[in-house]
Amino acid sequence: MDESRYTRVVWLGAEEDDLKVGFQAPSVPPATRRSALAMLNSLYDPLGISSELSMEGRLIMRKIAVYDWDTTLPKDLCTEAADWMKVVQKAAETTKIPRSVDCKSLLVYVDASQFAWGVDVRSPEGIRVVARGGLFDKEKFAKWSIVS
């Protein structure tokens, strides 16, 4: 398989003409905030091919942010980050999308929860064209709610 890397988005060559996310898991599972954030931030996915996993990583980052940089993280957070790493590694190896998609007709899905929002744009065949998501700011979100 001919793999060409451009900012960690992998093109699988003219024969397949597909794209996938490149992710290289560290050889040692993360144990500190510094190593965990380095691993979590190594998922570069500008097209949102794996946006669900990216969002999960951001939620883990939020939990880790309260610790000092070189403090050993609690075992449950280390396990959660290591499990995320394994899932992302497998997804990076198996998930791919066509490089060229007919965009005459697109379906747009949006959703939000109390923690995050997301937008998913797909072709009628179900091929993801692009996806975006984000976490709500904790302080700003605490000031309003649609639930009374």
Q: What is the pLDDT of residues 100-124, one digit of tens each?
A: 888 899 999 999 988 889 999 999 9
**What does the pLDDT average to over 12-17?**
78
What residues make up the domain containing 133?
4-142
Mean model confidence pLDDT for the chain: 85
Whether the pLDDT of residue 6 is over 60: the answer is no
For residue 127, give the nearest of 23, 48, 16, 53 by alpha carbon.
Answer: 48
Tokens standing for residue 107: 């379906």
Q: Which residues pair with 132 in a beta bridge?
A: 119
- To the nearest whole percent, how much of the chain has pLDDT over 70? 88
* Position 147 in a domain: no
Instruction: Quote the percentage of the chain above a pLDDT of 90.
Output: 48
Instruction: Give mean pLDDT, residues 1-13.
Output: 59
Query: Within a domain: residue 22?
Result: yes
Read off the pLDDT of each residue in 48-70 and give the average, rounded to a whole number.
93
Residue 148: inside a domain, yes or no? Answer: no
25 domain-assigned: yes
Distance CA 118, CA 55 (A): 9
146: its two tokens: 């649609």
CB 21 within 8 A of CB 10: yes
In terms of phi and psi (left: phi > 0; alpha: psi -120 to 50; beta: otherwise), the region of 13 is left
- Does the pLDDT value for residue 13 go beyond 90? no
> How many domains does the chain divide into?
1
Q: Do the domain assignments include residue 10?
A: yes
Evaluate whether residue 27 is within a structural domain: yes
Contact partners, residue 123, CB within 8 Å, separation at least 6: 101, 102, 103, 105, 106, 107, 129
Instruction: Please report, to the nearest 10 degrees, the dihedral formed by the alpha carbons of residues 59, 65, 70, 73 taken in order.
Output: -50
Instruction: Look at 22 and 37; give whichever has higher pLDDT.
Output: 37
Instruction: State the pLDDT at residue 5.
Output: 46
Greater pLDDT, 1 or 67: 67
Q: Exposed/middle/buried for 132, CB within 10 Å: 0-12, 13-18, 19+?
A: middle
Please list, residue by residue across 7-37, b when 16 or more beta carbons sit within 10 angstroms of its beta carbon and e when fewer do. eebbbbeeeeeebbbbbebeeebbbbbebbb
pLDDT at 46: 84
In a domain, 18, yes or no: yes
Q: Which of the pair, 6 or 124, is modelled with greater confidence? A: 124
Does the pTM of the predicted model rise above 0.85? Answer: no
